[in-house]
A and B are shown apart, each in its own frame.
Chain A
Amino acid sequence: MKPHPDFGELSLTRPLEPAMLEAFSAGPARTLEDYQQAMALRAAVYMAEQDCPYEEEYDGNDFSCTHFLVKAGASPAGTCRVRWFADFAKIERSTILPVYRGTPALRVLMAETCEVISRKGYRVALAQIQARLWPVWSRVFRCRMVEGRTPFDFSAFDYCEMEIPIAPHPDALTIRTDPLQIIRPEGDWDQPGILDKSAERAARAA
C-alpha cells in the first residue's frame, strides 16, 4: 500500500483523511498511457472549457517536466505538472475534471505532488494562478500571494503568483543518497526497483 504523504499534505490547509486516499490515488505519470491521460484531461478542461488555443496549452514544456495524475479507481480525474528549477519547483496546469470538482481529488493530487517535491529536497513551490481563483487556492494550500509583483496576464486571464512552503522531508534525496535508491522510479524511492533486481543478478553472476 502506498504510504501516506505525511510531508506533502503539510502544504494543505487541512490534513488528508484516510477515506480521501481510499477514494483517490495520485502520483507521477510514468507511462505513455499516463501521459496521454494527462493530456486528455487538459484538453477537456483548458481547451474545451476555457477555450485555450492548442498551441498555448501545449507550450513546449510538456517534455521537460514531471506530470502527476490523480485517479478515482482507474479513471483519470485530474492532473498537474511540475517543472524543476534550482531552488524551487513550479506547479502548473492543475486540472480537475468537472465531475470531480468539490471532491478530495484536488487535495490528494496536491498532497502527493508536494510529497515528491519535498522528497526531492525542495522547500518552496511557486504557482501562477488565475487571479480570480485565489479564494479557491488559498483554501487548498497553506500559501501566500507573492507580494510586490506586478500582476500579469496571458491566454485571456489575469494571473498572480502564489508561494507554497514545502515541508522539509527528513529523508530528502541528496547527492549522497544510495545510488540504487536514486535511480528508482520517481516518487517510489522506498521500494526496490527493477534496477535493484538487476544488481542482484550481477552479484549472482560474479
Chain B
Amino acid sequence: MSEVWIDYAGLARRAGEFQFRRANFAELEAGLALGEKLTGQTMATPASILWIESLTGMAGWVTGDPVDGVFITVPLSADGAAAVRDGSFAPAWPALAHICCQGDPCGGVYIGVYAGTTKESRRRVMMSAGVTRVEFFAPVPCFARGATQDGKRSMASLGFRAIDGGLPDLWGQDPLPAAQEQAA
C-alpha cells in the first residue's frame, strides 16, 4: 500500500489560493452547521473535528467571512485506509491509529464534508478539493460518503466510484496514475 508524506505548508498555501483557511473552533461550528443544513445529514461535532484537526494539522478548512464554505478532510494512516474499506472506520470519532498524525506517513484521505452556500463558494470548494487531491495526495486512495445526489454527481465527475463492503454510501478513488499526477 502506497503512502505519502504530507507537505503541510504547501497544502495550506494552495488552499489559501482558493481562499480556504484552517478553521478555529467557532468557524468549525459555523461550517458544520452549514454542512448539516445543506446535506440534511448529522455531522461530527465541532469538538471532534477540532480534535482531529489538532492531531493531523489539516482537517478543518473554511472559506468566507462569515463562513460560506467548508471542507473537512481527514488524512488516514495505512490502517485507517484499510478501516474505511472494511467499515471499521468511525468518521465522527476515529480511532487514533486510523488517522495520520502530523509528521506520520499518510495512507489515504477521507473527505468528511464539502459544502458551500453560494455558487462561488461551491466552486472554491470543488477546486480546492480537486487540486489538493491531485497535487498533494495523488499516490494514495481518497474516500468520501455520498450524502446527497448532488454529492454523488460531483464525486462521479471527479472520478470517484461507489465501493461496496465498507462504510455505507462509500465512494472512493484509487491512487492517481503518475501521468495524471505530473500533468496537474
Contacts and interface: CB of A to CB of B under 8 A. Distances in A.
Interface of A: 6-7, 10, 13-15, 123, 142-144, 165, 167-168, 170
Given A6-B45, A142-B95, A143-B96, A170 B24 contact: yes
Contacts of A6: 45, 47
Interface of B: 24-26, 45, 47-48, 50-51, 54-55, 93, 95-97
Contacts of B47: 6-7, 10, 167
B176 to A, nearest CB: 31
B25 A165 contact: no
Contacts of A165: 51, 54-55, 96
Contacts of B97: 144
A13 B93 CA distance: 8
B94 to A, nearest CB: 8
Contacts of A142: 95-96
Nearest to A5: B47
Contacts of A14: 93
A170 B26 contact: yes
B182 to A, nearest CB: 36
Contact of A167 (B24, B26, B51, B95): B51
A55 B110 CA distance: 51
Contact of B54 (A13, A143, A144, A167): A167
A167 B59 CA distance: 14
17 contacts: A6-B45, A7-B47, A7-B51, A10-B51, A13-B95, A15-B93, A123-B54, A142-B95, A143-B96, A144-B97, A165-B51, A165-B54, A165-B55, A167-B51, A167-B54, A170-B25, A170-B26
